[in-house]
């Protein structure tokens, strides 16, 4: 298994495109993306658990209820959520794909991201469809254009691809993601589109995705706000020509490992590019009594506003780590807790058995001044582990969100 | 029932004092407070549910287990938490009160607030005890000095007092509070000390306090971080001379109403003075199917980082209110939700039946530019109500917490 290039176009039989159609005012910013598989693909999807659900999620769930899809259309700049005509518009976007490409509207995954509660007009999408479809290509540039078109406050494109042997052939899997603020997925996340040419039955595809997100996207938080439009969609068209995965076994395990490589990488990219973030906070918890406890602790630590602000200031305020563990609700013996901060610049032990130990503040400052910070929590009470990803809380987070709509 | 002056010295038989003893480096900042009742008082207390508990909480719980206390000693600048010798130091503080005033160490409520995980030395407290006790007085200045001495990042003193008729006599109740960051109380809160000369049995006092905090301090959040040292202590010395409240009834109800006036006022003060805050966010939820649902919704709204940032920018981004209601976990029919923003400058309706309605952005900007903002959520699904208090998220919150220890 190895990383490769090409994003969502890395796998055989997928083309992508991304244009500016006019939903966003900024003409230099692409706002409409399309991903198309040459043939219908097995499709799996997970969506937000927010009671307020974007209209596109309802339409997508309906469209892939038969286990198959052939295209993904996604706009940025408007979430098409909390609008009276939301379903109509989302179905309209699918119909435009059918009109232009002859792909059944019922085989389209549709997604939207941006401001909530402002009506989305079909007009710019309608007018842009021709250019969007003419741009369809399997090149790296085309994959990049799609990755750019789904970005909102993201500052970097998020894409990844891997190559792996499965079902007797070489398969590829690639993904793109957007997500920077309103990031605290619950059973789903942000917008993530993953394509593969591996052959997987719809049932096994959904099983693999549902299992994966519990340890990947659901362990990411930028600001504790669960979006109304979170969606991860995964297409598998089987065009690598391998044996179909229809049950658990060696091939399924390999497929899940490839999926995990894609999702974990996207998780780190999303957390690193959290709104206003200057650094990634990666909390690794070990020695927990259960996986549930480990996950609860890891997530509580990366969600603490106080710790996030301390990380921004490169301040080794480990008391805030202990505090977040204490209020997490997880079963923990506080008197056994160890905490270390770690980065490329080294590792510094700051707490043993729930109490502070002496450490060199200069070394700690150096460790915490790096871009990727590991917060290592040893609970010394069992064997379970978990990992969660977050980012620091900065002036720019406040700036970005103080006036997002205007 | 009416507001009066005098803070914790408003009630008969209480004296207070506050000095700088040297725990904090800044010599102009008081860091040690003392409140003393002339006679032993019935005492009630609620503490943090964070698994990491400050050593003073353990000592206090033990000391008031008989239902009585006569003094409160509290330092700022150091939380005396996560230190190996924490209990010893907290007991040492009580012993110093006994040495200086002859009040049994077992009748002392002890509290600490400040940095977690740095050993607290008894020395400055020991050296300061004489001046602290000499300063004891029932004047407004003395009450002020105590209120100041418990402040950390607070920018304003928080004190309040009321006068009420109860048990056939005029009673008074006064309180002081500190709390600005790490504010997200769970079954207790921050540091709050309340004194009254009303006569109440220890059982009824605890009952009144435990009931009250569920709708007062537990509905406040600045940053979602539940402190390790939260404590509310309430002393009732009966020196107003009235009939002892020993069961439910009219007097108990009056007492609870007086307590609610004190606690609600302190809640608003704490939220208004949240770290870096420029405005109070007061979320009033009505029409919920249950009080539980109303409280869950209200708290979710005031805790949303995105909404808090939008309020800082005076941006009427009501979609974030809907989003926070949706992920709150409460039983809500989103299609029935109404939202209004309100302040001294007027009221603007922004959402009806879960969808946006047209509103004047200029009017909304004016409404949201005031200091006290009401977010009115109508769920239109029942009769239950709740209220929660928070504050906006600002550059200064990040600044204050990016380098708190140094």
Is residue B198 within 8 Å of residue B173, measured between CB atoms? Answer: yes
| Least CB–CB distance from A223: residue in B116, B306, B397 | B306
Q: Cite the DSSP H helix spans in A247-290.
A: 250-272
Q: Using DSSP bridges, classify how beta strands B169-178 and B191-196 pair: parallel, antiparallel or unpaired.
A: antiparallel
Q: Is the pLDDT of residue A237 over 70?
A: yes
When scoring B222, B224, B309 by the number of chain A Cβ atoms within 10 A, the one with the most, hence best to mutate, is B309
Q: How far is CA A150 from the centre of its chain?
A: 12
The answer to whether A262 touches A355, Cβ cutoff 8 Å, is no
Nearest-Cα residue of chain A relative to residue B225: A304
Do B83 and A356 lie within an 8 Å CB cutoff?
yes
Write the residue in B52, B84, B315 that is nearest to A403 by C-beta: B315
What pLDDT sits at residue B22?
Answer: 95
Residue A327 confidence (pLDDT): 84
Contact present, B219 and B260 (Cβ < 8 Å): no
> What residues have CB less than 8 Å from A321, skipping those under 6 apart?
A301, A304, A307, A339, A351, A375, A377
**How confident is the model at residue B224, as a pLDDT?**
67
CB within 8 Å: A355 and B82:
yes
8 A C-beta contact, residue B394 and residue A398: yes
SS3 (DSSP) at A4: strand
A329-388, pLDDT tens digit by residue? 899 998 999 999 999 999 999 999 998 899 999 999 999 999 999 999 999 999 999 999
Q: What is the mean pLDDT of chain A?
A: 88
Tell me, what's the pLDDT at A224? 67
Q: What is the pLDDT of residue B133?
A: 97
Q: Which residues pair with A114 in a beta bridge?
A: A77
CB contact under 8 A, A306 and B225: yes
pLDDT of residue A191: 73
Contacting residues for B68 by C-beta, under 8 A, at least 6 apart: B40, B41, B42, B43, B107, B202
Q: A95: distance to nearest CA of chain B, Å? A: 24
For residue A350, the chain B residue with the least C-alpha distance is: B117
Residues of A catalogued as catalytic? 189
Question: Rg for chain B (alpha carbons), in Å?
Answer: 21
Chain A residues whose CB is inside 8 A of the B315 CB are 402-406
Q: Specify the higher pLDDT residue, A183 or B137.
A: B137
| Assessment of whether the complete model's pTM goes beyond 0.90 | no
Nearest to A82 among B79, B305, B319 (CB): B319
Tens of pLDDT along B84-109? 899 999 999 999 999 999 999 999 99
CB pairs under 8 A between A and B: 197
Residue in A324, A356, A401 nearest the CB of B310: A401
CA atoms within a 13 Å half-sphere pointing along the CA-CB vector of A204: 19
Which of A184, A334, A402 lies closest to B313 in CB terms?
A402
Kindly give the parts of chain B with pLDDT less than 50.
186-189
Residue A348 backbone dihedrals phi, psi, to 5 degrees? -130, 125
Question: Cα torsion for B111, B114, B120, B125, to the nearest 10°?
Answer: -60
Closest chain A residue by Cα to residue B306 = A401
Report CB contact under 8 Å: A327, B118.
no
Helix (H, G, I), strand (E, B) or coil at A77: strand
Nearest to B242 by CA among B176, B175, B163: B163
CA-nearest residue of chain A to B311?
A402
**Contact criterion met (CB < 8 Å) for B305 and A305:** yes
User: What is the token pair recorded at B119?
Assistant: 């050993």
- Nearest Cα to Cα of residue B343 among B370, B364, B308, B363: B370
Distance CA A144, CA A14 (A): 13
Q: Rounded to a whole number, what is the distance in Å from the CA of B332 to chain A's nearest CA?
A: 8
**Residues of chain A contacting residue B187, judged by C-beta atoms under 8 Å apart:** none
Predicted local distance difference test score (pLDDT) of residue A230: 73
| Residue of chain A with shortest Cα separation from B331 | A51
The residue with greater pLDDT, A226 or A258, is A258
Q: Give the three-class secondary structure for A142.
A: helix
Distance CA B378, CA B339 (A): 6
Task: Classify strands A231-236 and A191-196 as parallel, antiparallel or unpaired.
Answer: parallel
Cα–Cα distance for residue pair A386/A374, rounded to 1 Å:
13
The per-residue pLDDT for B186 is: 44
Inter-chain residue contact A402 with B312, CB threshold 8 Å: yes
Q: Per the structure block, which two tokens stand in for A293?
A: 């406890």
pLDDT of residue B48: 75
* Residues on chain A touching B356 (C-beta within 8 angstroms): 82-83, 117-118
Q: Is the CB of residue B354 less than 8 Å from the CB of residue B335?
A: yes
Nearest to B151 by CA among B46, B317, B275: B275
C-alpha B351/C-alpha B319 separation (Å) is 9
Contacts of B403 in chain A (CB under 8 A): 310, 313, 315
- Contact between A198 and A167 under an 8 Å Cβ cutoff? The reply is yes
Residues A315, A313: Cα–Cα separation, whole Å: 5
CA distance B12 to chain A (A): 38
Sheet of A280-288, strands arranged across: A355-356, A346-352, A338-343, A372-378, A280-288, A384-391
Which among A82, A317, A324 has the least Cβ separation from residue B354? A82
Residue B21, C-beta contacts closer than 8 angstroms, at least 6 positions apart: B31, B32, B75, B124, B125, B127, B128, B131, B132
**Beta-carbon separation of A402 and B309 below 8 A:** yes
Closest Cα in chain B, distance from residue A45 (Å): 19
As a whole number of angstroms, the distance between CA B313 and CA A321 comes to 30
CA of A159 to nearest chain B CA: how many angstroms apart?
A: 26
Residue numbers in A near B377 (CB within 8 A):
none
Tell me what pLDDT residue B189 has. 38
Which position has the token pair 């207790």? B188
Interface test with B, best of A323, A373, A403 (most B CBs within 10 A): A323
Residues on chain B touching A334 (C-beta within 8 angstroms): 51-52
**Buried b / exposed e across A235-252, counting CB within 10 Å, b at 16+?**
bbbbbbebeebeeeeebb
Q: Could you write out the three-class secondary structure of A291-328?
A: HHHHHHHHHHHHHCHHHHHHHHCCCCCCHHHHHHHHCC
CB atoms within 10 A of CB B2: 8
Which residue in chain B is spatially nearest to A315 when comparing CA positions? Answer: B403
Mark yes or no for CB contact B117/A50 under 8 Å: no
Reported confidence tier of residue A32, pLDDT bands at 50, 70, 90:
very high
Among the partner residues A319, A355, A395, nearest to B115 by beta-carbon distance: A319
User: Which residues in B342-368 are b (16+ Cβ under 10 Å) and which e?
Assistant: bbebeebbbbeebbbeebeeeebbebb
- Could you give the CA distance from residue B405 to residue B114 in angstroms, rounded to a whole number? 9
Chain A CB contacts of B312 below 8 Å: 398, 402
Indicate which residues of B carry an active-site annotation: 189
Please work out, in degrees rounded to the nearest 5, the angle formed at the alpha carbon of residue B358 by the alpha carbons of B354 and B363.
Answer: 115
Give Cβ neighbours of residue A295 (< 8 Å, ≥ 6 apart): A215, A219, A285, A386, A388
Contact A313 B403 (CB under 8 A): yes
Nearest chain B CA: its distance from A361 CA (Å):
11
SS (H, E, C) chain B: CEEECCHHHCCCCEEEEEECCCCCCCCCCCCEEEEEEEEEEEEEEEECCCCCCCHHHHHHHHHCCCCEEEEEEEEEEECCCCCCCHHHHHHHHHHHHHHHHCCCHHHEEEEEEEECCCCCCCHHHHHHHHHHHHCCECCHHHHHHHHHHCCCCCCCCEEEEEEEEECCEEEEEEEEEECCCCCCCCCCCCEEEEEECCCECHHHHHHHHHHHHHHCHHHECCCCCCCCCCEEEEEECCCCCCCCECCCCHHHHHHHHHHHHHHHHHHHHHHHCCCCCCCEEEEEEEEECCHHHHHHHHHHHHHCHHHHHHHHCCCCCCHHHHHHHHCCCCCCCHHHCEEEEEECCEEEEEEECCEECCCCHHHHHHHHCCCEEEEEEECCCCCEEEEEEEECCCHHHHHHHHCCCC
Chain B interface disruption, residue of A313, A333, A349, A373, most B CBs within 10 A:
A313
B51–A326 CB contact, under 8 Å:
yes
Provide the CB-side half-sphere exposure for B387 (13 A, CA). 15
Contacts of B355 in chain A (CB under 8 A): 82-84, 117
Q: Which residues of A touch B118 (CB under 8 A)?
A: 356
Helix pair angle (A305-312, A319-326), 10° resolution: 160
pLDDT of the residue at B213: 76
* Percentage of chain A exceeding pLDDT 90: 52
- Suggest the residue from B302, B401, B403, B405 to mutate for an interface test with chain A (most A CBs closer than 10 A): B401
Closest-CA distance of chain A to residue B229, Å: 10
For residue A271, give how far its alpha carbon lies from the nearest alpha carbon of chain B (Å).
16
Distance CA B319, CA B375 (A): 13
| Closest-CA residue of chain B to A365 | B403
What count of other Cβ atoms lies within 10 Å of the Cβ of residue B123? 11
Cβ–Cβ < 8 Å for B293, B378: no
Closest approach of A130 to chain B, Cα-based (Å): 32
Residues of B in contact with A115 (CB under 8 A): 319
Predicted local distance difference test score (pLDDT) of residue A190: 64
Band (A189; pLDDT cuts 50, 70, 90): very low
A304 contacts B50? CB cut-off 8 A: no
């Amino acid at each position: 298994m190895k990383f490769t290039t090409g994003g969502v176009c890395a796998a055989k039989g997928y083309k992508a495109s991304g244009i500016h159609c006019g939903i966003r005012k900024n003409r230099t910013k692409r706002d409409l993306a399309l991903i198309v598989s040459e043939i219908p693909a097995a499709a799996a999807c997970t969506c937000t658990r927010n009671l307020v659900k974007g209209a596109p999620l309802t339409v997508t769930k309906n469209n892939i209820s038969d286990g198959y899809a052939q295209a993904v259309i996604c706009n940025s700049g408007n979430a098409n959520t909390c609008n009276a005509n939301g379903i109509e518009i989302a179905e309209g976007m699918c119909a435009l794909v059918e009109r232009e490409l002859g792909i059944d509207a019922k085989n389209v995954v549709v997604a939207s991201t941006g401001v909530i509660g402002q009506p989305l007009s079909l007009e710019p999408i309608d007018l842009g469809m021709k250019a969007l479809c003419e741009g369809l290509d399997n090149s790296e540039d085309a994959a990049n254009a799609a990755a750019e078109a789904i970005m909102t406050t993201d500052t970097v494109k998020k894409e990844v691809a891997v190559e792996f042997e499965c079902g007797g052939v070489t398969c590829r899997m690639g993904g793109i993601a957007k997500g920077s603020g309103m990031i605290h997925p619950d059973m789903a996340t942000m917008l993530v589109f993953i394509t593969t040419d591996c052959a997987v039955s719809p049932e096994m595809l959904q099983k693999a995705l549902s299992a994966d997100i519990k340890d990947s996207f659901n362990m990411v938080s930028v600001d504790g706000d669960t979006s109304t439009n979170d969606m991860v969609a995964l297409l598998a068209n089987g065009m690598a020509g391998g044996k179909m995965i229809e049950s658990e076994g060696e091939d399924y395990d390999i497929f899940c490992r490839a999926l995990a490589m894609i999702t974990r990488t996207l998780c780190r990219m999303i957390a690193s590019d959290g709104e206003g973030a200057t650094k990634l906070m990666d909390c690794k918890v070990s020695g927990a009594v259960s996986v549930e406890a480990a996950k609860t602790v890891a997530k509580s630590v990366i969600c603490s506003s106080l710790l996030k602000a301390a990380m921004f200031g490169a301040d080794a305020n480990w008391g805030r780590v202990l505090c977040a563990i204490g209020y997490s609700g997880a079963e923990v013996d506080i008197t056994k807790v160890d905490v270390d901060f770690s980065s490329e610049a080294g590792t510094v032990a700051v707490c043993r058995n729930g109490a502070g130990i002496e450490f060199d503040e200069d070394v700690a400052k150096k460790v915490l001044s790096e871009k990727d910070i590991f917060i290592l929590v040893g609970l010394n009470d069992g064997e379970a582990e978990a990992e969660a990803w977050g980012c620091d809380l900065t002036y720019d987070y406040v700036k970005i969100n103080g006036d997002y709509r205007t």
